[in-house]
């Protein structure tokens, strides 16, 4: 009981001090300064590009996406779930097989078919027709990559330690002609971070939504 009274008295005294105009303004100023310091630290510490939202290249296939853009690859895209929304932004000519919207846009059957693909398992062609896909952007060591290449004849066009780009019919893409495939990049492709977005979406620049 005595402890509660002492705490109550201490709070009452602190409140009385803060009600004094000079101390009240000091407290407000200190709060604003501290908030500014914390905000600046949150936006700049451990970042390659301050005051931006950054994408870690070891988790997102930025170099592989650049390859797709630079070589004019377009068409239906088989994509790893975690990367679908990145592709929605960066690759407006490549409708993804799935993205983070999940069952707000895709049926349960489509979601399951994509997971079967990732695991290298049989995919129901009525749900996810692989023969209608043109490009795949998948983690390099995914079981589904081996299935597409060895069982279905897809060709690797690009690879780095994180991701691989596969094409079903390389002859469809003129910018791949004369290129020794696959283009293989090393660890430099997945090091560091990049600001995202670093430019307006190609979808917006093309006049889309």
Query: 37 with 77, same domain?
Result: no
pLDDT tens for 85-136 read 999 999 999 999 999 999 999 999 999 999 999 999 999 999 999 999 999 9
- Backbone torsions φ then ψ of 156, nearest 5 degrees: -75, 130
Tell me the pLDDT tens digit for each residue of 51-60. 577 889 999 9
Residue 199 belongs to some domain of the structure: yes
94 occurs within a structural domain? yes
pLDDT tens-place string over residues 65-92: 999 999 999 999 999 999 999 999 999 9
pTM: 0.76
Do 17 and 93 lie in a common domain? no
pLDDT value, residue 196 = 75
Q: Give residue 23's pLDDT.
A: 56
Is 93 within the bounds of a domain? yes
> Residue 183 corresponds to which tokens in the numbers above?
């283009």
In a domain, 90, yes or no: yes
Tokens of 147: 């299935």
- Residue 86: which domain range? 55-205
Contact (CB, 8 A) for 105 and 208:
no
> Is there a single domain that holds both residue 27 and residue 68?
no
Average predicted confidence (pLDDT) for the chain: 85
Nearest CA-CA partner of 117 in 76, 89, 87: 76
Say how many domains are in the chain: 2
Whether residues 107 and 19 fall in one domain? no
């Amino acid at each position: 009981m005595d402890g509660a009274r002492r705490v109550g008295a201490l709070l009452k005294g602190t409140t009385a001090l803060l009600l004094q105009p000079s101390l009240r303004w000091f407290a407000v100023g200190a709060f604003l300064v501290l908030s500014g310091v914390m905000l600046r630290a949150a936006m700049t510490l451990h970042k390659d590009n301050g005051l931006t939202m950054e994408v870690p290249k070891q988790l997102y296939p930025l170099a592989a996406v650049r390859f797709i853009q630079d070589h004019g690859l377009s068409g239906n895209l088989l994509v790893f779930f975690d990367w679908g929304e990145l592709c929605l932004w960066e690759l407006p000519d490549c409708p993804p097989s799935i993205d983070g919207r999940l069952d707000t846009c895709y049926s349960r059957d489509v979601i399951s078919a994509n997971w079967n693909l990732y695991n290298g398992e049989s995919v129901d062609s009525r749900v996810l027709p692989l023969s209608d896909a043109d490009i795949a952007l998948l983690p390099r060591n995914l079981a589904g990559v081996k299935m597409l290449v060895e069982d279905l004849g897809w060709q690797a066009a690009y690879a780095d330690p994180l991701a691989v780009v596969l094409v079903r019919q390389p002859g469809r893409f003129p910018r791949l002609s004369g290129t020794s495939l696959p283009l293989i990049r090393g660890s430099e492709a997945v090091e560091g971070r990049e600001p995202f977005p670093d430019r307006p979406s190609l979808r917006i620049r093309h006049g889309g939504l």
